[in-house]
Structures are given as C-alpha cells and as structure tokens.
Homo-oligomer: A and B are copies of this chain.
Amino acid sequence: MGEFELIQRYFAKHRTHLAVIGIGDDAAVLEPLPKGQQQVVCLDTLVTGRHFYDGADAADVGWKSLAVNLSDLAAMGATPRWFQLGLTLPDADASWLAGFAKGLFECAEQYGVALIGGDTTRGPLSITVQAAGSVPAGMALLRSGAAVGDELYVSGTLGGAALALLHAEADQQPLNRPQPRMALGGALLGKATSAIDISDGLLADCSHVLEQSGVGATLRLGNVPLAPGIDESQLELALAGGDDYELLVTLPPNSDIATLEKIGQCALTRIGTIEAEVGLRCVSADGAPYNPGKRGWQHFGNSQ
C-alpha cells in the first residue's frame, strides 16, 4: 500500500470546519481563532517498549497517542481544537492501522478535536502527535503561578497506570485509555493559580510547579487518593509511578471545590499546602517526615 492510499484509507475521511485546507496538501490552512483567544500547542512522542508494550493493542496506542497531548492542553485550561499525526511504522499492516485509527478517532471524537494533517513514514514504531487548543487571552494555567497559602489538589486517583504495568490482572484502563481532564481544565480557568498534568509522577511534577513558582510545599501523603487496588504499602506507585494524566493544581484557600468537581466531572482531593520555604516536604499519615526513594520518570535519567 502506498503512503497516499494509506492516508486516504485510514486518516483522510474525517473532515473539519476548523481547517480551510486539511489533509492532502503540503500543509494545512486553519480558520483564525475566535477574537480574544490565544493558541496553545503541545507535542508528545510515544515509542514502543517505552510508552506502550511491544504488541500493545493498536486501538489503545491510537487512543493514548492523542490523549497524552490532550492532557497537556487540559493542564493549560485549553479547549482542544485540532491535531497532527506523525506515524512511523515498520510496515503498512492493514489490521494494525485500522485498530490504531479506531482508537485515535474514538479519542478525537470524545474530546471534539479534528485531525488536520501529518506524515507517515517507515521505521521502528513511533507516534508523535501535535495538538492545538485555545484559551481566553492571558488566562492559560501555568506552572509558575502557585502562591504561598494556596492549597494543593489532585484530580481523580493516582497510581493506576503504574499498577497496571506491574500486574497484568489489574485494571488496564488507566494505563491504556487515560482520560484527559479537559472539563476540569476548563473549570479551573480564572480559579486555579497553577496546574500541571501528572505524567512524570506526583512528586516530580509537583517539584516542577514549586521550582517554577519559586515556592515550596508540604504534601500530606495520607491524603493522596490511591487508585483502586493500591494499598498503603504501594504508596510509591501513586507518588512516582507516572502516566496518570490527572491534574495537580493550586487553588487559593476557600475556593469552591464542590463546584469545580461538578463542572470538572471528577473528584478533587486536597493533599498539601504551598509554603514560602522552597523544596518539597512529605509527611506520612502519622505525621512523620517521609523520604521517598524515587522521584518519578526521567527519560534519560540514571534511575531508568
């Protein structure tokens, strides 16, 4: 199958009003953003054996390739609009491609985002998705806005993806079909002082927020919401497992959490407080200081 036939068969059938010119030219041409909006863009690569198993279900790979990018947009409070797909394949396997496209477009349709272009090439299996969304000008949620006295909240539960990696009999949905927190991201606009998605692990991503905000925090580990099937002895899965795609956010005291949970369609759990003293401190359920062994995912780190 030629590249052009492959694109036509699996990827060119979805049209969108966002693109004046979509798939099929040298580049795509887009309708301007509504007045008063800024564009938000991100890009993430998934590689076999690193972000998914060799032999993983193609539909899951398609879903996740897009979902991890949408999670980055959610962390900015952006509404997703469109994406491009860079697909590198060892061969043009029709059944794999059909599955991949199915999962990819399931995710695209669930979150209202349109494929407008990309590239296919031959090589070791690897997928790069580039996604774009919009936020009201000046309102994007950044990592740098956490202020002393803010409270730290996390959405949903943590550690589910890490548990799925460890145990084949555990629920695989958190690992294979992460649900980006788009509704929550939107609900947090104008409310949260900072946000980040938890892709590297709670402690690592929390440290990014603290460093970029020039503040510190104490996390109360007894409050961290554990994914079903994780007990206290596996706390590290929730602290450093990564791949959770929940949002870690800071909110001023007395924020209306119940309303955010309702609009955001997920639970928010308070797990700590922002403090002036820089650095991340962890306190166990019994109040004792806790020294975690592993601070999260480092693609080129020594710990991997």
Contact = CB atoms under 8 A, between A and B. Distances in A.
Contact of A196 (B26, B47, B92, B140): B26
Given A3-B300, A21-B142, A43 B121 contact: no
Interface residues of A, number: 76
Interface stretch (A99-107, A112-120, A218-226, A266-274): A112-120
Interface string A63-86: 000000001110110100000111
A128 interface: yes
A29 to B, nearest CB: 5
Contacts of A293: none
Contacts of A116: 41
Nearest to A76: B27
A298 B78 contact: no
Interface stretch (A30-38, A159-167, A230-238, A281-289): A30-38
A43 B118 contact: yes
Contact of A50 (B32, B46, B123, B301): B123
A95 to B, nearest CB: 15
Nearest to A185: B26
A41 B26 contact: no
B39 A121 contact: no
Q: Which of A49, A85, A123 has the most CB of B within 10 A?
A: A123
Interface string A288-304: 00000000001111001
Contacts of A37: 32
Given A84-B43, A124-B124, A300 B143 contact: no
Contact of A88 (B30, B126, B130): B126
Given A47-B88, A84-B130, A27 B78 contact: yes
16 contacts: A20-B138, A21-B140, A25-B143, A26-B71, A26-B143, A30-B40, A31-B38, A32-B33, A42-B84, A43-B84, A44-B86, A47-B122, A86-B86, A86-B128, A120-B299, A120-B300
Interface of A: 1-4, 6, 20-21, 24-33, 37-51, 71-73, 75-76, 78, 84-89, 91-92, 116-124, 126, 128, 130, 132-133, 135, 137-138, 140, 142-144, 195-197, 212, 298-301, 304
